[in-house]
Amino acid sequence: MNTKIFTISVEDTASPAISEAAELLRNGGLVAFPTETVYGLGGNATDTEAAQKIYAAKGRPSDNPLIIHIASPEEAEQYAYTNETYYRLAKAFMPGPLTVILPKKDSIPQSVTGGLDTVAIRCPSHPLAQALIRAAGVAIAAPSANRSGSPSPSCGAHVIHDLNGRIDAILSGGECEIGLESTIIQLCDNKATLLRPGAVTADALRCVCEEVAISPAVTEGLQENERPLSPGMKYRHYAPRLPLVLLDGDEDCVLSFLLHAQNAEKCVILCYREETEYLRNERLIDIGGKQELNEQAHRLFAALRAADGMDADIIYAHLPPKDGMGLALYNRLIRAAAHTVLQV
C-alpha cells in the first residue's frame, strides 16, 4: 500500500493535509497523527472494519482495546455512560494526557473494545489531533502508531519506520511534547483505579478524586492466571531486541558499575546528562538531567529505539523513582526490561 506522508508543523491546523486525512478516516482508512503523548494510529471508532485494519497494521492482538479520541469532553456522551467524577477529571485535565475508562454505549462496536463492556476515552490537546478529530466529525480509535512490541513512536520518523506501506497516511508533525502514553484511570463501580501512569500523575488525580487505587500491574508483573484490568498489561510492550537491565543503587555505586561495564562488555548505556563527563562508552545515550523527569520521559522511547539499533549485547539504564512522573518512566522501563533489576 502506498502511504501518503504529510509533513506539517504543529500550528498548521488549517493545512489541506488535515482535510485530506479526515476524508480518509471518514472513508474507513487509517491515518497516523501526532498527539501530545505519542503518535496515534487512527481509524473511525464506530467502524468495525477500521478497527480490524488497525489491529492488522500494528500486528496487535485483537483483545487489546483501543482508546477513543474525541475533540471535547462532552462528546463522551455519545460513546460512554459518564458520571460526575468523569466531568471533574475532564475539568481538571482535558484536553490533555488523560484517558478515562467508562461503561460503553452501543455506538462503539465490541471489536474496538476487545470485547469489553467498557471504553477508553481521551481528549488530546495537540492542535493537529484536535483539528483532525473535528474535521473527521467522528471519534477516532487510536492505539499508539508503532508495530506491536516496539516502543511507542514519539516523532514522525518512528511512525514512518514502523508503518510506512501499511496504512493510508501519516501526518508527520514533529516530536511529541510528553513522549510517554496517556495516564489511564478506570472509573467503574464508583471506584477509581490507575491502570497506566503518565504525565497526569497519581498525586494530581488524587487532588480531584479522593481515592485512587494504583493497580499492582503498574509496578509488578502479572501473577500467573491473573486477569488484567487492562488487557494491554499482559503484553510485554516496549520490548527492545537487546536485553535491558535496570540498575538500582546509590548514585556512586551505579556510576562505578557503569565505569567498569563500559570496559568489560559491549553495552549501551542510557545515562543521566551529569554522567556523560565521566563515561567514555562509545554507545552512550544521554536521556536527560537526573532531576529532569519530564525531559527523560520525552527522550525515553527514542533512546530505546536508538539503543536497540546499536551493535551491542546489552542495554543498561537507571531504575527510575516511583513517584511523580518517575512512576510513568518506571512502568515503561520495568516492562521493557522484563523486570530485570540489578542491585549494585
Binding site for ligand AMP (CB under 6 A): 64-67, 101, 113, 116, 118-120, 143-144, 181, 184, 195, 230-232
Strand partners, 42: 31
Stretch that binds Mg ion, among 11-19, 123-131, 137-145, 278-286 (CB under 5 A): 137-145
Alpha carbons 100 and 121: distance in angstroms, whole number: 5
Q: From the CB of 220, what's the least distance to ligand AMP, in Å?
A: 16
C-alpha grid cell, residue 224: 500467573
> Smallest Cα–Cα separation from 130: which of 28, 41, 33?
33
Binding site partner of 119, from Mg ion, ligand AMP, none, Cβ cut-off 5-8 A by kind = ligand AMP
Binding site partner of 67, from Mg ion, ligand AMP, none, Cβ cut-off 5-8 A by kind = ligand AMP
Binding site partner of 120, from ligand AMP, Mg ion, none, Cβ cut-off 5-8 A by kind = ligand AMP
* CB-nearer residue toward ligand AMP: 58 or 318: 58
Binding of Mg ion at residue 99 (CB under 5 A)? no
**Whether the Cβ atoms of residue 70 and residue 44 lie closer than 8 Å to each other:** no
Q: From the CB of 24, what's the least distance to ligand AMP, in Å?
A: 20
291, 292, 298, 303 alpha-carbon torsion, rounded to 10°: -50
Q: From the CB of 61, what's the least distance to Mg ion, in Å?
A: 12
* CB-nearer residue toward ligand AMP: 6 or 79: 79
Residue that the C-alpha cell 501530545 belongs to:
36
* CB-nearer residue toward Mg ion: 233 or 255: 233
Number of residues engaging Mg ion in binding (CB under 5 A) = 1
* CB-nearer residue toward ligand AMP: 64 or 262: 64
* CB-nearer residue toward Mg ion: 37 or 85: 37
* CB-nearer residue toward ligand AMP: 8 or 45: 45
What is the layout of strands, in order, in the sheet containing 183-188?
4-7, 169-172, 31-33, 40-44, 140-141, 67-69, 118-122, 98-103, 183-188, 191-196, 213-214
Q: From the CB of 306, what's the least distance to ligand AMP, in Å?
A: 21
Alpha carbons 313 and 189: distance in angstroms, whole number: 47
Amino acid type, 182? S
Helices (H), 179-266: 202-206, 251-264
Report the relative pairing of strands 118-122 and 40-44 from DSSP bridges: unpaired
Strand partners, 269: 284, 316
Instruction: Give the CA diameter of the chain.
Output: 60
The residue sitting closest to ligand AMP, measured at its beta carbon, is 232
Contacts of 88 (CB under 8 A, 6+ apart): 208, 209
Alpha carbons 216 and 173: distance in angstroms, whole number: 35
Q: From the CB of 84, what's the least distance to Mg ion, in Å?
A: 30
Stretch that binds Mg ion, among 14-22, 142-150, 216-224, 318-326 (CB under 5 A): 142-150
* CB-nearer residue toward Mg ion: 52 or 83: 52
Q: From the CB of 91, what's the least distance to ligand AMP, in Å?
A: 22
Binding site partner of 294, from ligand AMP, Mg ion, none, Cβ cut-off 5-8 A by kind = none
Binding of Mg ion at residue 144 (CB under 5 A)? yes
What's the chain's length in residues? 344
Alpha carbons 51 and 62: distance in angstroms, whole number: 9
Binding site partner of 184, from Mg ion, ligand AMP, none, Cβ cut-off 5-8 A by kind = ligand AMP
Binding site partner of 240, from Mg ion, ligand AMP, none, Cβ cut-off 5-8 A by kind = none
Residues that bind Mg ion (CB under 5 A): 144
